[in-house]
Amino acid sequence: MLCLLCNALLLKFVIFPLLVAFGVKFLIKKLRGKIDPTNEIDISGKTVIVTGASDGIGKVTAEEFAVRGARVIMACRNVQKGEKCVEEIRSRTSNGQLIVMHLDLSKMSSVRKFVEEFAKNNADHQGLSILVNNAGLRNPVGVLNITEDGFEEVLGVNHLGHFLLTNLLLPHLEKAGRVDEAQPSRIVTVSSGAHRFGQLNWHDLNFRKTPFVDWKFPPKLYGNSKLANCLFNVELAKKLRLKKMNVTCYALCPGVVNTDSAKQYVDANPPPLPIRIVYRGIKFFMGKPLKEGTETTMYCSLSKYLTHHSGEMYRNCEFWDPSKRPKLSEEDAKLLWEESAKLVKLE
């Protein structure tokens, strides 16, 4: 009798909830739609830069490019960590080339030095075919760090560093775009669905004068930086069109990916228990394995169908319909570009 009762309780409180949980997880995966790790564009021997290639999505993105035979520049703030990633990738594939270069996106001097070195070492190559602006940082809730350039750190790394890097690399992207008219070079910026929470503080983007009040969830500075990524992509596409450069650009959300990025920020300043439970739930139900988390980046980099969609956004390897995401204001995009150019002293 006791045994029967135990079995009934086990079924009701353990087996049934587990079946429902995994069923929902499976359903969410199915609803994400088509996954297309495309190989449509041949990049063997072509030069690609991936920022933040020493961990998470960036590391696997570098490997995906190498597997396809590309010459991959892994732009890392920690060169030793980058070299360890190369060893690890080399244990799985001998394809392509992997070159680690130092880049600290929180320092504009480092961005400029990176581009100078790139120009010096790549004069013999046919320019830069793909730039993936992937590196990203989250602040622990309530923490505001200022970089040596006077920038709020999250905006500084996630947006301003990439803004300067992209602008300085344009001549190299243009050079690769000149090789084949049908194959523009690409700039792929890894943003996030968190851009919907961004509210840029236009009069003081770096919170140097405004009192900083962070939200508990989601972190305000991260949302702002990811909104900046999206607005940057909109204005960049306009500028590339105006300059008639054979270079296109895209922004994307990789989805919820099982990397350590959220862990670091949650550990540093743990949010209240209900929010931690929400995080765990989101990760369990929606979390993608790393390789799957790189697929939209690879899609934006290599799908031949995207050529006429410069400035658009993607997720789950599909066009992200503007009616299904917050509207991005073209005026804001222009304003952000002007402010960013002043801040990073872009001539």
Ligand X SMILES: NC(=O)c1ccc[n+]([C@@H]2O[C@H](COP(=O)([O-])OP(=O)(O)OC[C@H]3O[C@@H](n4cnc5c(N)ncnc54)[C@H](OP(=O)(O)O)[C@@H]3O)[C@@H](O)[C@H]2O)c1
The binder of ligand X chosen from 46, 50, 56, 173 (CB under 6 A): 56
- Chain positions 151 to 190 lying near ligand X, rule: CB under 6 A, are 157, 190
Cα(295)–Cα(300) distance, integer angstroms: 9
Of 228 and 247, the one with the shorter C-beta distance to ligand X is 228
> Nearest approach, Cβ of 29 to ligand X (angstroms)?
15
> Is residue 81 at the binding interface for ligand X, with CB under 6 A as the rule?
yes
Contact pattern from residue 123 through residue 142 relative to ligand X, giving x for each residue in contact according to CB under 6 A and a dash for the rest: -----------xxxx-----
Contact region for ligand X (CB under 6 A) — 62-70, 177-185, 250-258, 333-341? Answer: 250-258
User: Which of 75, 240, 74 has its CA nearest to residue 173?
Assistant: 240
> Is residue 52 at the binding interface for ligand X, with CB under 6 A as the rule?
yes
> Under a CB-based contact definition with an 8 Å cutoff, are residues 71 and 48 in contact?
yes
> Is residue 78 at the binding interface for ligand X, with CB under 6 A as the rule?
yes
Burial of residue 158 (CB within 10 Å: 0-12, 13-18, 19+) is: buried
Of 174 and 292, the one with the shorter C-beta distance to ligand X is 292
> Is residue 214 at the binding interface for ligand X, with CB under 6 A as the rule?
no
Contact region for ligand X (CB under 6 A) — 11-19, 32-40, 258-266, 270-278? Answer: 258-266
Of 190 and 306, the one with the shorter C-beta distance to ligand X is 190
> Under a CB-based contact definition with an 8 Å cutoff, are residues 346 and 167 in contact?
yes
> Is residue 83 at the binding interface for ligand X, with CB under 6 A as the rule?
no
Stated as kind and residue range, the H or E segment containing 114 is helix 108-121
Q: Each residue of 44-67: b (16+ CB within 10 Å) or e?
A: eebbbbbbbbbbbbbbbbbbbbbb
> Is residue 106 at the binding interface for ligand X, with CB under 6 A as the rule?
yes
Cα(226)–Cα(189) distance, integer angstroms: 10
Bridge partners of 247, per DSSP, are 185
> Nearest approach, Cβ of 77 to ligand X (angstroms)?
4
Which residues 6+ apart lie within 8 Å of 210 measured at CB? 201, 203, 204
Cα(260)–Cα(95) distance, integer angstroms: 27
Of 157 and 313, the one with the shorter C-beta distance to ligand X is 157
> Nearest approach, Cβ of 1 to ligand X (angstroms)?
49
> Is residue 145 at the binding interface for ligand X, with CB under 6 A as the rule?
no
> Is residue 77 at the binding interface for ligand X, with CB under 6 A as the rule?
yes
Is the Cα dihedral 214, 218, 220, 221 positive or negative?
positive
Of 177 and 218, the one with the shorter C-beta distance to ligand X is 218
Contact region for ligand X (CB under 6 A) — 11-19, 102-110, 174-182, 274-282? Answer: 102-110
Cα(274)–Cα(216) distance, integer angstroms: 11
Active site residues: 222
Q: Each residue of 294-305: b (16+ CB within 10 Å) or e?
A: bbbbbbbbbbee
Contact region for ligand X (CB under 6 A) — 86-94, 103-111, 173-181, 301-309? Answer: 103-111
The binder of ligand X chosen from 49, 105, 173, 240 (CB under 6 A): 105
> Nearest approach, Cβ of 278 to ligand X (angstroms)?
14
User: Which of 234, 194, 215, 195 has its CA nearest to residue 337?
Assistant: 234
Residue type at position 57: I
Applying CB under 6 A, the residues found at the interface with ligand X are 51-52, 54-58, 77-78, 81, 103-106, 134-137, 157, 190, 192, 253-254, 256-257, 259-261
